[in-house]
């Protein structure tokens, strides 16, 4: 998730006043809400490279992913149940594939990029109903070869789901998808909305019971969340060239500092990556402990580390890459990040790692 962008907060507040009504109703307030909703759909579709009628709003990114995977499997059940996906897909993709089908995972390189040849060979086998490939990895930022993979899926008449949760708003969405999912929270929109794209010629049947709502999935749409998501995405798309180079420079600075810390591995492709993500892993460090230490210094970071309190399992992404899973730190830079903030973080980081190692009795190893 990213901090809520100021333009999104302003749009959300305006829509609460003007778009509070049920957009399915025919009274004046309902028509006003409907106009706001359809305007948001049109804007988001344009920025994601889709037609307006191909965009469906859901309540969350997870719901969009589940609808994409399970709806395609339902529509293509006579073809088979196999789902070809990279081993580093978002957990919601993998969970849906296991729930509704038979997942076949393709290995990735140490940089986190899927083996394109192996993916192409897999989608050409019998019984494949769906292929799934993220546009970029949300833990390490590595871009995936969507264009090349889409050529193979088209040749095999297998629909391709591209999960753009990590990249939408930060990088152009690659062409070649048949189904698309995106998470507005990742580009700085308020929570309460997921985006599902379904190309007009793609076979898809809702996996949920029939509903009288305005969408292909059950429930009503938060008009304020939709409008805010559209406003922020349009703002980021217009300024992408400027913010891309700026954030790449700053993430490069963090990568360089992290690489100087003893027994630390900077992970992900150094070049073919998203502009705003940096991930590194520190030996002899507990991921949660270093996140807490940095938080006390005013820096909010994430961790795809081993042994989280809830699962006691390492990050499936880092494990699939074959890189260090312990002591993982993930930094995402917002679009309004300052050099001062990054330099402050870089100044604090080596000491934070050293303190955690000392606390665990691992300093000097």
Instruction: Note the pLDDT tens digit of each residue in 69-83.
Output: 999 999 999 999 999
Q: What is the pLDDT of residue 1?
A: 75
Q: Which residues 6+ apart lie within 8 Å of 119 measured at CB?
A: 84, 86, 106, 131, 133, 149, 152
Any idea which of 46-55, 85-94, 355-364 has the lowest mean pLDDT? 355-364
Q: Which of 27-41, 124-138, 313-327 has the highest mean pLDDT?
A: 124-138
Q: Are strands 160-163 and 128-132 parallel, antiparallel or unpaired?
A: parallel
User: CB neighbours of 63 closer than 8 A, spacing ≥ 6?
Assistant: 194, 217
Residue 212 pLDDT exceeds 70? no
Cα–Cα distance between 248 and 232 in angstroms, integer?
A: 20
- Average pLDDT of 78-107? 97
Q: How far is 216 from 144, CA to CA, in rounded Å?
A: 29
Q: Which residue has the higher pLDDT, 114 or 288?
A: 114
CA 216 – CA 202 distance, rounded (Å)? 14
The token pair at 39 is 């305007």
Q: Are 326 and 237 in contact (CB under 8 A)?
A: no
220: its two tokens: 């009503």
pLDDT digits (tens, 9 = 90+) for 323-352: 999 899 999 999 889 999 999 999 999 999
Tell which residue, 331, 329, 325, has the closest CA to residue 313. Answer: 325
CATH number of this structure's domain 6-238, picked from the four choices 2.60.120.260, 3.40.640.10, 3.40.50.740, 3.40.50.80: 3.40.640.10
The region of weakest confidence among 39-48, 87-96, 119-128, 322-331 is 322-331
Q: Three-class SS string for 107-128?
A: CECCCCCECHHHHHHHHCCCCE
Cα(219)–Cα(56) distance, integer angstroms: 12
pLDDT grade, residue 310 (50/70/90)? Answer: low
Question: Given a cut of 90, is residue 271 above it in pLDDT?
Answer: yes
The reply to whether 6-238 and 240-359 are identical in fold is no
For the stretch 126-171, pLDDT in tens is: 999 999 999 999 999 999 999 999 999 999 999 999 999 999 999 9
- The pLDDT value recorded for residue 364 is 63
Ordered by start, the domain boundaries in the chain are: 6-238, 240-359
Closest CA to 352 of 301, 278, 308: 301
Helix, strand, coil: what percent of the chain each, to 5?
45, 15, 40
Q: How many other β-carbons are positioned within 10 Å of the β-carbon of residue 270?
A: 13
The fold adopted by the segment(s) 240-359 is 3.90.1150
State the pLDDT at residue 156: 97
């Amino acid at each position: 998730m990213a901090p809520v962008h100021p333009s999104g907060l302003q749009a959300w507040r305006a829509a609460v006043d003007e778009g509070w009504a049920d957009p399915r109703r025919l009274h004046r307030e309902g028509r006003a809400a409907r106009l706001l909703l359809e305007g948001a759909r049109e804007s988001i579709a344009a920025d994601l490279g889709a037609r307006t009628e191909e965009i469906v709003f859901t309540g969350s990114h997870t719901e969009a992913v589940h609808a994409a995977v399970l709806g395609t499997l339902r529509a293509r059940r006579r073809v088979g149940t196999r789902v070809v996906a990279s081993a580093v897909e978002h957990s919601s993709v993998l969970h849906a594939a296991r729930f509704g089908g038979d997942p076949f995972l393709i290995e990735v390189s140490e940089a986190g990029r899927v083996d394109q040849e192996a993916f192409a060979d897999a989608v050409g086998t019998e019984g494949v109903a769906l292929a799934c490939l993220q546009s970029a990895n949300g833990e390490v930022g590595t871009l995936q070869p969507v264009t090349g993979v889409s050529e193979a899926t088209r040749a095999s008449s297998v629909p391709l789901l591209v999960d753009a949760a990590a990249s939408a708003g930060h990088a152009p969405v690659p062409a070649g998808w048949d189904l698309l999912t995106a998470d507005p929270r990742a580009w700085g929109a308020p929570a309460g909305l997921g985006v599902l794209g379904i190309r007009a010629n793609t076979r898809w049947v809702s996996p949920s019971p029939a509903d009288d709502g305005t969408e292909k999935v059950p429930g009503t749409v938060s008009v304020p969340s939709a409008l805010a998501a559209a406003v922020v995405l349009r703002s980021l798309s217009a300024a992408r060239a400027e913010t891309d180079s700026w954030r790449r420079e700053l993430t490069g600075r963090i990568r360089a500092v992290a690489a100087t810390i003893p027994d630390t591995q900077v992970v992900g492709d150094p070049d073919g990556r998203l502009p705003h993500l940096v991930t590194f892993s520190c030996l002899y460090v507990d991921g949660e402990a270093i996140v807490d230490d940095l938080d006390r210094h005013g820096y909010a970071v994430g961790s795809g580390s081993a042994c989280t309190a809830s699962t006691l399992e390492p990050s499936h992404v880092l494990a699939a890459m074959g890189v260090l899973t312990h002591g993982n730190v993930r930094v995402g830079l917002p679009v309004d990040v300052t050099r001062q903030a990054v330099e402050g973080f870089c100044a604090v980081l080596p000491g934070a790692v050293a303190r955690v190692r000392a606390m665990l009795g691992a300093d000097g190893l």
